[in-house]
């Protein structure tokens, strides 16, 4: 058995991530992360979507839970992308109880 020299040595001495295996046999796009055009979110990162009925239920339950847990929170607004509906963040407003000692 003859020893074959590995043709590809560029992956030695560096961390291997999911992208490494994903693009092992094809050329890697310029961006290592695939992002949505509309809100620049990582496409590989699964997030809830306000346009999805089931996801919306999860969002509602989350907000209800938080409102219950924190009496000083007056409202919680799920902020989502206008284009694709991905949930970006929760914005909450506080009521007077937040400053009462
Ligand atoms: Zn978007």
Mind listing the pLDDT tens digit for each residue in 29-70?
A: 665 788 999 999 998 888 999 999 999 999 999 999 999 999
Distance 59 CA to ligand 1 centre (A): 17
Residue pair 73/95 in contact (Cβ under 8 Å)? The answer is: yes
Backbone angles phi, psi at 35, to 5 degrees: -115, 150
- pLDDT score for 58: 97
Host H or E run for residue 21: helix 18-22
Distance 36 CA to ligand 1 centre (A): 6
Residue pair 88/39 in contact (Cβ under 8 Å)? The answer is: yes
For residue 83, how far is the Cα from the chain centroid? 16
Q: What residues are neighbours of ligand 1 (ion), with CB under 5 Å?
A: 36, 38-39, 81, 83-84, 86
Distance 52 CA to ligand 1 centre (A): 14
The string of pLDDT tens digits covering residues 73-99 is 999 999 999 999 999 999 999 998 887
- pLDDT score for 51: 96
Distance 9 CA to ligand 1 centre (A): 38
């Amino acid at each position: 058995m003859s020893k074959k020299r590995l043709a590809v040595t560029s992956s030695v001495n560096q961390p291997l991530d999911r992208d490494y295996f994903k693009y092992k046999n094809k050329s890697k796009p310029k961006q290592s992360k695939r992002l949505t055009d509309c809100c620049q979110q990582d496409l590989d990162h699964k997030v809830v979507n306000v346009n999805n009925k089931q996801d919306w239920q999860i969002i509602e339950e989350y907000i209800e839970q938080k409102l219950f847990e924190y009496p000083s929170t007056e409202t919680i607004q799920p902020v989502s992308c206008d284009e694709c509906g991905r949930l970006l963040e929760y914005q909450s407003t506080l009521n007077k109880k937040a400053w009462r000692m």
